[in-house]
Every structure is written in structure tokens, then in C-alpha cells.
Amino acid sequence: MILEERNIIKAIDKKNFPFMMAGIFLSVTFLAVLIAAVLGFENDVLWMIGGTELLIYVIGNALCTLVVKNTGRYLKRTMVAYISHLFLMSGFIWLFTGNGFSLKESVIPIYLALIFCFIMSLALVLFIRQMLSMLKDQ
């Protein structure tokens, strides 16, 4: 069965998994932003869609980081994937808003907070993994 635990862990352990996950989230965000733009929602809604997606991505990535076997390799790749994902997503939302280079002042702190949440989630996951490793050794 596809959704067996060992199959999920095997898929997460693939070296390109962080990029695949970022691509899937980016595709879903693109569709959501496209639908919102076509329906005529305000620009703030488009930025909120992006922020919500980043938060869900952070949670999903933290869960994947807990089960991956090669943590070092995964962390390097997930950081590159997150940064690429952030810039691509912000870029196409910016294109949909049509505001030129003027970003609202409220958008930047929110996205900086989401970047901080991503970094802290990785630190928390590493701490949890270390604690579990110590308990396992005892």
C-alpha cells in the first residue's frame, strides 16, 4: 500500500524531497492566488494566501524533518528549497498584485516572522531529535 509508514519514510528520505514538497506547495499556492486574482480579491488576500501557505509548509517540513534519516543532508536541501520557494512565491504574488515595487509595510514583517518560524522549527526539531537520541541511548 502506498500510505504505509515505510513507504512514506522512504519517499521523505529521497534527496530531492524538499524540492518536490516546495514545488507541490508552490503549485497549490499559484492556483489559489490565480483563483483569488480572477475573482477580484484585494491584494492583501493574495499576500495572506502566500503567508498561510508558508506556515503550512513550515509545519509539514518540521514533521518531515523528524522522520528523515540523514538530517544534515535534509536540512541543507530544505533551506535551499525554502528560500527558493519563498522568492518564487513572493515573486508571482507580486506580479499578480501589480503594485510595482511598492510592498505594503504590513507584508514584510509577516514574511520575516514566517522566515523566523521556519528557522525556529528546524532548531526545535533538531532539539527533539537530540533528546530522543539521548533517551534512546539510556
* Structural contact between residues 50 and 93, judged by C-beta atoms closer than 8 angstroms: yes
pLDDT band with cut points at 50, 70 and 90 for residue 101: very low
77: left (phi over 0), alpha (psi -120 to 50) or beta: alpha
- Give pLDDT tens digits for 29-71: 999 999 999 998 888 888 899 999 999 999 999 988 888 888 8
Query: Residue 5 — φ and ψ, nearest 5°?
Result: -60, -45
Residue 44, pLDDT score: 83
State the Cα–Cα distance between residues 105 and 107, nearest whole angstrom: 6
| pLDDT > 50? residue 8 | yes
Question: Where do the structural domains in the chain lie, given as residue ranges?
Answer: 5-137
- Give pLDDT tens digits for 73-99: 889 999 999 999 999 998 888 888 876
User: Which pTM value belongs to this model?
Assistant: 0.83
Residue 7, pLDDT score: 76
